[in-house]
Structure 1
Amino acid sequence: MSGFELTPEQVSLRELAAEVAREVYAPKAAEWDRDRTPLPDDEVQRLAKLGFLGMVLPEEYGGHGGTLLDALIVQEELAKECRPAAFQVFETNVGPCRVIEFFGTEQQKKDVLPKTVSGEITMAIGISEPDAGSAATDMRTKARLEGDEYVLNGSKRWISNGGHANEYLVYCRLSDAPGAKGIGAIRVAKGTPGFSFGAPEKLMGFRGIPSADLYFDDVRVPCDNLVIPAGGFKQLFGVFSIERLGNATMSLAIGQASLDRTKAYVQERKQFGRALIEFQNVQMVLADMATQVEAARLLIYRAAMNAGNGLPVPFEVSVAKVFANEMAKKVSDQAMQLHGGNGYSEEFGIERLHRDAHGWAIAGGTPAIQRTRIAAELLGRTFSQRVPEVMQ
């Protein structure tokens, strides 16, 4: 038996997710993309009733105790047709709620996880800032302790689900220690006085997945909202490896969907009196697309299977994310080429796949940043990207 062979239960899970994607979300996806419509509440409840939300979370908190691969299988099938629906599964299985699961207090787990599984609340993560993107440790958002409260000031940029989620896991400076040593994380609920949002972003892709800046102006939250104390940045990014695998799976879905649609198109479309697939160049491109997609899937499955219910190996995650992100951009572009002018039309959905492919390559740490992590893991050391003080 292959180490990457799915169990009968996982095969059934894939078939169910594929049916839901095809019957429920495929007819609505283009409209939601055009109108930038977030996933409606009744659709969130549908996903909850299907058991797709928080499926990896412990049963004692309402989850199903499944593996990371279980969640990625569902996410891929939904994302082939509708990224906003898949994103809901993404957030509840590989998003900030996993930080709560691994490092939150017992009360935090009871407060957050069951509501996540039921679809009652959604969570978003706040890391990037206007001057701290790839250089995350340059963040300036700060929380100072005053009595039994933390007072937050600062802002966050490029926050997926920003303004739409109910809860935010905010990475911030909790001490004056430099770099990662002073960074931790605090829960902040939507509606907390002083916590506001910028205008919804109008992005090239990711339409239907809300994005907005977060602003903190003397936002007071109880000390009990502290999830990770100062110095816990490494723990936060350990769990963030799970989110990166979810990101890679979005790219995998885009690549697979591009391939599937192109396979059908080149067998139906005729030029010069014969189907496109009869031209050797088309065969070569299609074979290249398939090879890229399959390689990405194997890299993702390796990392997910090795993780089981725990944290994945950072090296395996970064390799999978780099390859999958770049695969999705390339394969969706090849799909556009083989569709000709139709690939550039909204009617065929290929241009939407290509737009979203670029978004997932930016989110969660770009391929360029992942390559520095890969090199660091290979050599067992870190590499500072900062200009040495003597050269400044």
Structure 2
Amino acid sequence: MDFTLNDDQQSLQEAARNFARNELPDIARDLENRNAPPSQELIRRYAEQGFLGVNVAPEYGGLGLGNLEALIVVEEFAKISSAVAFPIFESCVGPVRAIEHFGSEALKRRVIPKVCRGEIVVAVSMSEPDAGSALTDLKTRAEIRGDEVVLNGTKRWCSGGGHADGYVVYCRMSDDPGAKGIGAVYVEKDAPGLTFGPNETLMGFRGVPSSDLYFDDAHVPRENIIVPAGGFRKLMEAFDLERCGNATMSLGQASGALEDVLAYVQERRQFGKPIVDFQAVQLRLAEMQMRVDAARLLIYRAAANSEKGLPSVLESSLAKCFANEISREVTGHAVQLMGAYGYSSEFPMERRLRDAWGWGIAGGAIDIQKTNITSAMIGRRFDQRG
């Protein structure tokens, strides 16, 4: 068991870090101020650098590397901001991977290469007004009519909503109750019958658009079915990888905060010396480092153990839950150590704190991850409705 990155992984990490640090801080600040997503031009630059679809198979335009390599890149971009990292997250661990694993060959070749070239962004649409943590209560329906699928319903809290070019939509595809009736369909942004609500104004995640999706007899080709009714388990297996991505986006807030505050405490002087010379600061820094390292190791374990498939629900939930919790704690400590500079919106620290809270809600709330963990430990699901 080797806990060091190999030469190729280190080179990839360095390339991602150099690009992110040199090119993206000003862009991240602008996206935050305007609550706007990265431009198409920037996403194409990501593609040119090889940062999109890192772990996607080469026949679909990806680099064909592993999940670990993809998450290494995600973290370096997430250290700058969630907004600049989000297109990489979506291309490496998001809904594109569900299409790659379960979609038809025609759908894969129509969608995935465009994502890897930076031509389109694909988002996932799962939650509904009455189906968030209780996802199997979703009501959006998809009815097969000849060569088409017709969707009706409302989806909520879709990150990328109104901006992404395509959506992996979880929907009810049969009258079977609960998970048995659920599948997923790929829906293009311009599909007839699909409209969007306004861009949500959130505490954080500025630059990651979120809106409702409204389906009113929305028509898509039948070949856009990714998973038919009864495929909910497959969808959640793919989502275990997205949990690892969520954990890494969360980790990026913490590790980026730690790197910045470490430089700050060595420069900031009070009472005639750098504040890092005070033992209280030293203890807090050590605690922050322990939490960041522990979260990263949990993520790396889940990724390394998934190289022949998808992460396990236990390991991905452990990684997400822990990273979500420590990112809130570490960014909070960083704000405190930097004082007014940490609290000011002129600097990125308070943005990291706000985004850290968001990642613990998105993709399955922290407490839901804990029920997943316990279910995996004992080998059975719990009936939350009983």
Which category describes the TM-score, using the shorter chain as reference length? over 0.9
Residue 171 of structure 1 contacts residue 186 of structure 1 at CA under 8 Å; is this kept in 2?
A: yes
User: Where does residue 272 of structure 1 map in the other structure?
Assistant: 271
Aligned equivalents of 1:122, 1:258: Cα separation in 2 = 28
Aligned equivalents of 1:324, 1:309: Cα separation in 2 = 24
Residue 140 of structure 2 contacts residue 171 of structure 2 at CA under 8 Å; is this kept in 1?
A: yes
CA deviation after TM superposition for structure 1 residue 250, in Å: 0.7
Distance 1:58 1:255, change over 3 A: same
CA deviation after TM superposition for structure 1 residue 145, in Å: 2.2
Residue 40 of structure 2 contacts residue 119 of structure 2 at CA under 8 Å; is this kept in 1?
A: no
User: Where does residue 147 of structure 2 map in the other structure?
Assistant: 148
Residue 163 of structure 1 contacts residue 211 of structure 1 at CA under 8 Å; is this kept in 2?
A: yes
Which stretch shows the higher mean deviation, 181-190 or 306-315?
Answer: 306-315
Q: What letter is aligned with 1:76?
A: E
Structure 1, unmatched stretches of 5+, are none
Aligned equivalents of 2:373, 2:264: Cα separation in 1 = 37
Secondary structure at 1:363 match in 2: coil
Aligned equivalents of 2:271, 2:189: Cα separation in 1 = 59
User: Where does residue 74 of structure 2 map in the other structure?
Assistant: 75
Secondary structure at 2:36 match in 1: coil
Aligned equivalents of 1:120, 1:147: Cα separation in 2 = 30
User: Where does residue 172 of structure 2 map in the other structure?
Assistant: 173
CA deviation after TM superposition for structure 1 residue 69, in Å: 0.7
The one-character-per-residue Cα deviations of 1:72-114 (angstroms, maximum 9, x if unpaired) are: 1111111111322211111011111111111111111111111
Aligned equivalents of 1:332, 1:227: Cα separation in 2 = 38
Secondary structure at 1:333 match in 2: helix
Aligned equivalents of 2:352, 2:308: Cα separation in 1 = 30
Per the normalisation by structure 2, the TM-score is 0.98
Secondary structure at 2:62 match in 1: coil
Q: What letter is aligned with 1:40?
A: S
Secondary structure at 2:191 match in 1: coil
Aligned equivalents of 1:210, 1:202: Cα separation in 2 = 9
Aligned equivalents of 2:319, 2:294: Cα separation in 1 = 9
Aligned equivalents of 2:277, 2:182: Cα separation in 1 = 58
Residue 68 of structure 1 contacts residue 309 of structure 1 at CA under 8 Å; is this kept in 2?
A: no
Aligned equivalents of 1:264, 1:224: Cα separation in 2 = 53
User: Where does residue 233 of structure 1 map in the other structure?
Assistant: 232
Aligned equivalents of 2:279, 2:104: Cα separation in 1 = 60
Q: What letter is aligned with 1:183?
A: I
CA deviation after TM superposition for structure 1 residue 274, in Å: 2.2
CA deviation after TM superposition for structure 1 residue 3, in Å: 2.4
The one-character-per-residue Cα deviations of 1:26-49 (angstroms, maximum 9, x if unpaired) are: 122112111112101110000000
Aligned equivalents of 2:331, 2:308: Cα separation in 1 = 32
Secondary structure at 1:145 match in 2: strand
CA deviation after TM superposition for structure 1 residue 54, in Å: 1.0
User: Where does residue 91 of structure 1 map in the other structure?
Assistant: 90
Matches within 5 A, 1:262-301: 262-301=261-300
User: Where does residue 137 of structure 2 map in the other structure?
Assistant: 138
User: Where does residue 384 of structure 2 map in the other structure?
Assistant: 385
Secondary structure at 1:347 match in 2: coil
Residue 21 of structure 1 contacts residue 82 of structure 1 at CA under 8 Å; is this kept in 2?
A: no
Query: What is the Cα-based RMSD across aligned positions, in Å?
Result: 1.0
The one-character-per-residue Cα deviations of 1:126-179 (angstroms, maximum 9, x if unpaired) are: 100011111100100011222222211001000011111111111000011110
User: Where does residue 322 of structure 1 map in the other structure?
Assistant: 321
Distance 1:92 1:370, change over 3 A: same
Structure 1 residue ranges, 4+ long, deviating more than 3 angstroms after superposition: none
Aligned equivalents of 2:136, 2:298: Cα separation in 1 = 28
Q: What letter is aligned with 2:180?
A: K
Aligned equivalents of 1:135, 1:48: Cα separation in 2 = 36
Count of matched residue positions in the alignment of Structure 1 and Structure 2? 386
Matches within 5 A, 1:203-282: 203-282=202-281
CA deviation after TM superposition for structure 1 residue 309, in Å: 4.9
Aligned equivalents of 1:121, 1:278: Cα separation in 2 = 49
User: Where does residue 191 of structure 1 map in the other structure?
Assistant: 190
Which stretch shows the higher mean deviation, 3-12 or 234-243?
Answer: 3-12
Aligned equivalents of 1:59, 1:340: Cα separation in 2 = 47
Structure 2, unmatched stretches of 5+, are none
User: Where does residue 19 of structure 1 map in the other structure?
Assistant: 18
